[in-house]
Structures are given as C-alpha cells and as structure tokens.
A and B are shown apart, each in its own frame.
Chain A
C-alpha cells in the first residue's frame, strides 16, 4: 500500500513542482476509502461470489461437484416453505408493531409538555442493551408453560387457562414478536427522535400562527418530514426480520423447535451448513434469501416512494 503510493508520487515528481500538492490531495481520498474497498472485496464480494458458485455445487467434505440446479430443486420441500413462512410472518408482525409504536412514542417524547423525557428515553432504551441471548433466556422463562410463570399468571388475571406458549405455532409467533418489540422498540424510538429533533421549530410556530391544530400539524408537518427515516427503519426492520436467528435459537435451543414452528430462513442455513455440513444446499438457501430480501426491500421502497424525485 505504502510502496504503491510512493511509486505514484515518484512517477509524478517529474512534472512541474506546482502540481505536487494537488496530487497528494488527489490520492488522499483513495487512501481514506481503502479499508472499505479491501473489506468489501475480501469479506463481502468474494464470499458472495463463492455462495453463488456453491449454490450450484454439491459441497460435502472431500466431495465437490457441479450439480446444476439440483440444490434449487431441493428447495421445494416442506421445511423450506415452513422457514420462509415463519420468517415472512415474523417480518410482517415486527413491521406492524415496530414502526407505528416507536414513531408515536418518539413524537410524545419530543413534545414540549413532556416531563422527565431523559428518564423515559433511557428506560425505553435499556432493553436494547441486552444481548439477544440473554433476552432469549428471559423470554423463554416468561413464556414457560408453568402456571406460575409470568405470562401464564398474567392471562390468569383475565380468566384464561395456562398455555404451552412455545409448543404452538401461533402462540410462539406471539412470543417472538413480544421479544422483538421489547428488544428493538428503544432503538427505533431513538432513530425517530433523532429525525424529529432535526425538524426546525419554526415550521410548527408558523403553523401555530395559521391556527393549525395538533393533529393537522402532525399530519402535514411531522409525518412528511419523517419519511426518510421511516424508509430507513422500514428497511432495517425487513432486514432484521428475514435475518432473525438468535431469538429462535434461544427459545428452542440448538436442536430446533417442535414441527419446526420456530425454524427461520437463517436457522435453516445454519442447520444445513453446520449441523448437516451441506454447504452447497446451505448456500442455495442463502442466495434465495438474498433474492427475497432484495425483492421485498425494492417493493417497499417503491411503495414508500423512495424513488420519487423530490427536493
């Protein structure tokens, strides 16, 4: 890296001395972005290309061969559809909860009349400090089937019988979404708060002078100006939804869930790659997941009007 730089400088020193300074300046940006270029080539592009190649291969210890589309044909099995369905449902529910709730809470936390906002901000953010492993341990116990466990004691207040939360498909999805809400809401609140605080106060003041009500100010000023951050939070929530693994791993353990009720796309990659050592098929699932997340993200960006020309 250094040698290259010196060589280039040496080569150029034959030019008039006037040009020397700008040359240093011309080279500098490439030095600054070099870490990203290296990391992108070594730890992103190379493995990605490898994943694409492996998805057309049978990769077993000591046995590598091209097998065309066989891995992709193998995707047509109940486990894959279960994993896809679970990840999609999870993404859907987290989007439904983790966008509106943090947005409204952030608007309240940003309100002039709000008291003790630092205290509330901190308390709502503290769950985000917990590792998902620890969060999983806690929620596994909260949703335990014992009568005295927190969730069962809670629903007893409303006259319901104890449930076996982690043995039923719909109840365990509920548990996963509760876990996700607890763990991630604080981070999304922070994103919305940072965007809210960059909205100039004068906008609201001039709306006040025009006699606008609270609701119309919210609709006409807050919501439109929050669009960029909403698109961002939407995108990372889709990403997080389809990439979910640890939550499910912690609720059911490494051996998997009954009838795969907690199997996710990444869980399926992990299972095929590291438990069955089928790296070829595992990569095929990965490439399919890539296609799905890109498709969903593009769809969402279109719907939210990211590509609409503005300002």
Chain B
C-alpha cells in the first residue's frame, strides 16, 4: 500500500507538469485562432489576447479570404502552388532518397564510404551559404520562377538518405538472393520486395519532408518572383508589410495554412512516431 502511494504522487505531479507544457505549446495557436475570428481593430487596441468576447466574434476574416479581399486575391493560387510543390517534392524526395539510402545500406561497392561521408558532410553544411550561386545557377538552368526551381535543388536530401540507410541496414539480405533466384532485377528487388518492407520509414519521412516543403521559406522566396507563383509562406509574409494593414487575411490565412498539415499529422500520428522510432535516427 505504501509503495503504491509513493508511486502515485510523483506520477500526478508529472502529469500536472506536462499539462502545463502542453498548454504552453498549444496556447499560441489558440490565441492565433481566437484573433482570426475577431476584427483586426481588436488586435490593434489590445494586442494579441485571449479575451473571450463573443459579441465581436465573426467569420468575416475567412469570408474576406474566400472573396479575395484585402490583398488575398491570390490566396488560393498560393494554396494550390503549395499543395502541388509539397506533393511533387515529397513523392520525388522519398523515392530518390530511399533509393540512395537503400543502395548505401545493401551493397558493398567501391566508393561506398566516400559517398556516405559526402552525405554526412552535406547534412552538416548549412545550404544557406550557397543560396547566391544557387540562385545564379537556377537562372542558367531556366528553372527560376518555376516549381522546379523550388524542388530540384533539394529533392535529394541528405537527412532522409541517412534515415533510409539506417532503416535498410535492418532489412533481411536473404530476401535479395531469393528475389534473384526468382529472376528479379536489382531494381525489381528494391521496388517489389524492399519498398513494402520499408513502409514505416516512408510513413515517418512523408510527414517530415511534407512539413519541410510546406513550410519552406528562404529558398522559395528567392526562386519565385511573381505573385501568382508564390507559395503560402511567401504570400503570407508579403501581407505583413509596413505600408498596408492586412491583418484580417493574415491571421485567417495563417490558420488555413496550418490546417492541412495538422490534419495530415493527426491522421498519420501513430505511424509517424513509430516509424521514426523503428528507424532509429541514432546519430
């Protein structure tokens, strides 16, 4: 009995502590949502606040976005661009990176250590240092101001390669020989036997890479030059200018920006955390 009580108290304290942290994590988003259903005049009077004043609450900000008011004429262009870029990027990135990671894990070949070292090196060097030459290269390759300019330079990413390599190290090599005996090509073994076995890794990486692409800002803002080609983060950041007051659309637009990725996460949540754990990003 005594033992049981001494176990209950700390666990209660722990839960209280985590409730505090969870509230702190969710509070800013709650404040944003609350502000998005109030007129911007409230925001200028009181700042971002969490007063529950039901009289002033309205969906007017969201209606403004849907009717293209207040600088939001292109909002749904941005939305479509973000969706297209994120989907294409994520699919390509997962396919190519898993291929490379798999190749590094399953085969012994000359230069394997060198290539893996290069993967690690690219992972440790901030890409931000090469944005100026990369910008000039995008002009030379005619991919400036297009979705390919956003996607191609970063679609073979070192982090997922590393992750898929770690994951593939745990795959049974016997299956490869079995596949060869059945007459599969090496690519066939990868696509038909190994890809299905790596599904948990794909689950985890889908969320991480989609998240990266959906939220990416610095490179897209450099590559995409015309308003109708912007992605959501660029468009939103542009609404925040010293010369115009677009807070209504800005806040409602921010909520609409979070929504798809939040749904994706809640839907795949279990898959996501388990996939990461199984793969074990062990450094």
Contact = CB atoms under 8 A, between A and B. Distances in A.
Interface string A279-311: 100110011011001100100000000000000
9 contacts: A28-B186, A124-B21, A137-B254, A149-B47, A229-B282, A239-B124, A245-B218, A254-B241, A289-B128
B50 A150 contact: yes
B78 to A, nearest CB: 12
Nearest to B82: A131
A148 B49 contact: yes
Interface of A: 21, 24-26, 28-33, 35-40, 42-44, 46-48, 50-51, 54, 105, 108-109, 111, 113-116, 118-142, 144, 146-150, 152-153, 182, 185-186, 190-191, 193-195, 197-198, 228-233, 235, 239, 242-243, 245-246, 249-250, 253-255, 266, 269-270, 273-274, 279, 282-283, 286-287, 289-290, 293-294, 297
Interface in B1-16: 7, 10-11, 14-15
Contacts of B185: 24
Given A28-B107, A243-B126, A269-B132, A123 B26 contact: yes
Contacts, number: 287
Contacts of A43: 134, 137, 152-154
Contacts of A124: 21-22, 25
Contacts of B254: 134, 137-138
Nearest to B35: A141
A132 B96 CA distance: 27
Given A28-B186, A266-B218, A249 B237 contact: yes
Q: Which of B7, B128, B261 has the most CB of A within 10 A?
A: B128
Given A29-B109, A32-B103, A283 B133 contact: yes
A150 B269 contact: no
> Interface SS of chain B: helix, strand, loop or mixed?
helix
A127 B29 contact: yes
B161 interface: yes
B280 A195 contact: yes
A129 B15 contact: no
